[in-house]
Structure 1
Amino acid sequence: MKTNNKGDKKMPTITLKEIERRVNSDGEKKDAIIRNFENKLGTRNRIQGRVRPKHPTEARILSSFKRK
C-alpha cells in the first residue's frame, strides 16, 4: 500500500490488484467455515428462503414491489 500526500494528510492508496488479492485470500480462509455452515444447514433439511411467516402489513408492502 502506497501513501500519497494530499495537503497535510497522508492518504493510503490501494491498487485493484491488491484488493483482488485480499478478497481471494480472505475467501480461502473462510471457505471451511462456509462449507461447515452449508453442511449444518443441509442436515436440518431447511430450504433456503423465508423462515417466519409474513405479517399481513409486511406482505402488502412487499407485494407492491415488482421483481424484474
Structure 2
Amino acid sequence: MKETELWNRLNRHLGDSYARVWAAEYNVAELDGRTVVQALAEGVPAKTIWRAVWAALELPARER
C-alpha cells in the first residue's frame, strides 16, 4: 500500500477535514502509542499503519 492509499482510506472513513486532525493527534496503541503522522515520519509501512488504524476504528473486515 502506498501512502496516498492510506490517506484516501482515512479520508473515506473519517472525512477529508477530520482525517488529518485524527492522524496527527490520535495515539494508536498498535503503533506503540504513535500517531499516524509520527509513524509515517519514522518509516513505518503504510500497510502496517492501515492495519493499526483499521483495528483502532473497529472497521468491518472487508475494509482491511
The TM-score normalised by the length of structure 1 is 0.23
| Rg larger for | 1
Pick the structure with more strand per residue: 1
The TM-score normalised by the length of structure 2 is 0.24
Greater relative CO (CA pairs within 8 A, separation 6+): 2
Pick the structure with more helix per residue: 2
